[in-house]
């Protein structure tokens, strides 16, 4: 997930919680203020009625034009003692003038006259419908707050993208940078101190990487040459020595084994050199490769080499697998996978090669149990040791896949050992 998307998600969650808490607080505060004003009005109205009642004066109409209502009833002393003398409640009352029921705020007051009699005064006045108010607040919260949240997020995204332009430019330059090739200089002027330091650090480290790359390249080439030369000399001397007719059969056998060991060391040296070159990214040429055509080309060679094993080959093409990579590496990738499928197969076995626009799968028969998928691509790992094998073939395939940003996986399915190479999905 990109950083900007993670920021948007976290910002949205945080702002949603903040706005929801603020809306709840606003609603509670507003209801409190409304009730306070209504309660003050009810207290004044109730006080006037009680004063007139105790003074024996004429009481106001029980249902005024303002929709205020009151009821006075005599109650027992037990009832009066069991109830609070002043209480406020929200309830529904019938308004005679309107002939309908509406929400109202009700004040209940219990008082006593000079004769010691207890009376209960119930005063009510219409008030707001709190359920409707909640719906209105919810509606406006969705309409206004979500709109506000959207605007805040847009502003933050715009500010973030504008502020991080130098970072995106640096990342693009680093992504296109290839060690060992001629690269464009970094053109990333910025007045932000942190990005200036980041640019300088990137240039400095890549310069050092170029120097190390050249040193390793030269060292590997020299070391390989120095090793291959004495190996070739030893092999030639052994071949000359093996032509001596005075040697016994036992001596020839020992010399043949020594010659075979030298061949193995030579192959191992070449494989290790190749791995080093791949790891050091010395294969910088890139072109569009038709992997289907390459598989068909090398498949014919391997069918001739391993014809004595009578392996049935089935090539299934469901599309053209085209990839941008080094021609040499693509050749090594296909060759190693084909060689592995033949070398570790069984006589009269089968090999299925499935090609599609985004992947290629090699499925071959072999030993009747799964190999360890965590170790199979490790260097020098051999699940079933084959004579002359260096144990680096699949390790080279793994290095090429990593370098070219390809997915490589092994699995055992329906008695077939499967090796799948596929394109990685691009992150949004």
Judge contact between 283 and 217, C-beta under 8 A. Answer: no
What pTM was computed for the model? Answer: 0.47
Model pLDDT, residue 427: 44
How far apart CA 260 and CA 238 sit, in angstroms, is 11
117-131 b/e with 16+ CB inside 10 Å = b? ebbbbbbbbbbbeee
**In 243-351, which residue ranges form alpha helices assigned H by DSSP?**
249-279, 291-305, 327-343
Judge contact between 254 and 260, C-beta under 8 A. Answer: no
Model pLDDT, residue 147: 81
Model pLDDT, residue 354: 92
How far apart CA 130 and CA 105 sit, in angstroms, is 11
Considering Cα of 178, then 181, then 187, then 191, what sign does the dihedral take? Answer: positive
Which DSSP category does 144 fall into? Answer: I
> Which residue's entry shows tokens 């296109």?
176
How far apart CA 266 and CA 272 sit, in angstroms, is 10
Q: Which CATH number fits domain 287-423: 3.50.50.60, 3.40.718.10, 3.30.565.10, 1.10.10.10?
A: 3.30.565.10
How far apart CA 337 and CA 328 sit, in angstroms, is 14
Question: Average pLDDT per run of 10 along the chain, which is 428 residues long?
Answer: 75 80 80 80 85 82 66 87 87 71 84 86 77 69 76 83 85 82 83 86 88 75 72 80 80 81 74 70 77 89 85 89 86 88 89 91 89 78 58 82 87 90 68
For the chain, the structural domain boundaries read: 3-150, 193-279, 287-423
Q: Judging by beta carbons within 10 Å of its beta carbon (0-12, 13-18, 19+), is residue 41 exposed, middle or buried?
A: middle
Model pLDDT, residue 417: 92
């Amino acid at each position: 997930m990109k950083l900007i998307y993670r920021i948007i998600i976290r910002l949205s969650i945080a702002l949603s919680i903040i706005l929801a808490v603020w809306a709840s607080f606003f609603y509670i505060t507003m209801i409190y203020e409304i009730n306070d004003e209504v309660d003050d009005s009810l207290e004044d109205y109730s006080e006037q009625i009680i004063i007139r009642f105790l003074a024996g004066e004429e009481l106001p109409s029980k249902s005024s034009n303002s929709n205020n209502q009151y009821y006075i009833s005599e109650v027992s002393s037990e009832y009066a003692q069991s109830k609070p003398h002043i209480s406020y409640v929200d309830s529904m009352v019938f308004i005679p003038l309107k002939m309908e029921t509406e929400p109202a705020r009700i004040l209940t007051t219990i008082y006593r006259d000079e004769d010691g009699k207890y009376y209960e005064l119930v005063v009510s006045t219409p008030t707001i419908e709190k359920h409707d108010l909640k719906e209105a607040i919810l509606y406006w919260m969705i309409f206004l707050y979500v709109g506000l949240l959207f605007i805040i997020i847009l502003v933050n995204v715009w500010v973030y993208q504008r502020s991080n332009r130098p970072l995106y430019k640096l990342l693009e330059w680093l992504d296109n940078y290839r060690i060992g090739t001629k690269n464009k200089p970094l053109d990333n002027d910025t007045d932000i101190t942190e990005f200036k330091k980041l640019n300088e650090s990137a240039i400095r480290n890549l310069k050092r990487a170029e120097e190390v790359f050249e040193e390793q390249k030269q060292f590997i080439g020299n070391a390989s040459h120095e090793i291959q030369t004495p190996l070739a000399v030893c092999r030639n001397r052994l071949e000359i020595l093996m032509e001596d007719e005075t040697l016994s059969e036992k001596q020839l056998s020992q010399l043949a084994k020594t010659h075979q060991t030298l061949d193995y060391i030579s192959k191992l040296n070449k494989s290790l050199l190749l791995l080093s070159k791949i790891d050091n990214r010395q294969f910088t040429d890139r072109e569009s490769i038709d992997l289907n055509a390459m598989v068909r080309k090398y498949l014919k060679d391997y069918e001739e080499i391993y014809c004595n094993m009578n392996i049935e080959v089935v090539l299934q093409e469901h599309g053209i697998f085209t990839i941008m990579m080094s021609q040499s590496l693509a050749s090594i990738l296909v060759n190693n996978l084909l060689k592995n499928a033949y070398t570790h197969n069984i006589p009269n076995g089968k090999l299925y090669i499935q090609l599609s626009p985004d992947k290629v799968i090699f499925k071959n028969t072999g030993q009747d149990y799964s190999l360890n998928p965590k170790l199979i691509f490790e260097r020098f790992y051999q699940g079933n040791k084959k004579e002359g094998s260096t144990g680096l073939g699949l390790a080279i395939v793994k290095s090429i896949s990593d370098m070219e940003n390809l997915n490589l996986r092994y699995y055992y399915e329906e008695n077939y050992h499967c090796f799948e190479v596929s394109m990685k999905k691009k992150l949004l």
